[in-house]
Each structure stands twice: as structure tokens, then as C-alpha cells.
């Protein structure tokens, strides 16, 4: 599923970047060599980043 249509960024790409890049959606887009265009995806992208980082934190805490 695409999170960002303007940049063709898939959810799985964003999740992978979220594990290695701190910062907001714009920072993660930049790590992919992209930047927001229309901006309509940013709220959803932030939700994905939060969810992915929360899952990672919970996995690390359980180990
Ligand atoms: S959908 Fe992501 S910038 Fe337009």
C-alpha cells in the first residue's frame, strides 16, 4: 500500500526507514531522497512511524 502517492512511498519502505531514522515524516522522506509535495499523506505517515517505533520499542523491552 502506498502511503505517499506523490512520491510513490510504500508503507513497508516507511516502516523500514522508521527503524533507522529518528525524526518526523519529512525526515524519513528525506532519508529516501524524497520530500513532501501535497502533504496530504503526512498525518498517515506520522501514524505509521509512531506505530512502527512503538512496536520496535515493545519488542526491545520484551527481549
Ligand atoms: S501524497 Fe505524499 S506528498 Fe502528496
Distance 61 CA to ligand 1 centre (A): 34
Residues 6+ apart with CB under 8 A from 8: 2
Supply the CATH number for residue 27's domain: 1.10.10.1100
Range of the domain at 28: 2-62
Q: Look at residue 39 in the predicted model and tell me its pLDDT.
A: 97
CA distance 16 to 39: 20
Q: Residue 36 CA: which ligand 1 atom is closest?
A: 3
Q: Among 28, 39, 49, name the best residue to mutate to test ligand 1's pocket (greatest count of ligand atoms within 8 A of Cβ).
A: 39
Q: What is the pLDDT of residue 55?
A: 85
How many domains does the structure of the chain reveal? 1
Q: Please, which pLDDT band fits residue 16 given cuts at 50, 70 and 90?
A: very high
CA of 42 to the centre of ligand 1 (A): 7
Q: Is the pLDDT of residue 28 over 90?
A: yes
Q: Is the pTM of this model over 0.85?
A: yes
Amino acid at each position: 500500500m502506498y502511503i505517499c502517492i506523490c512520491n510513490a512511498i510504500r508503507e513497508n519502505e516507511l516502516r523500514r526507514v522508521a527503524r533507522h531514522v529518528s525524526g518526523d515524516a519529512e525526515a524519513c522522506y528525506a532519508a529516501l531522497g524524497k520530500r513532501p509535495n501535497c502533504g496530504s499523506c503526512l498525518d498517515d505517515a506520522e501514524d505509521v512511524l509512531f506505530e512502527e517505533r512503538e512496536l520496535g520499542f515493545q519488542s526491545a523491552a520484551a527481549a
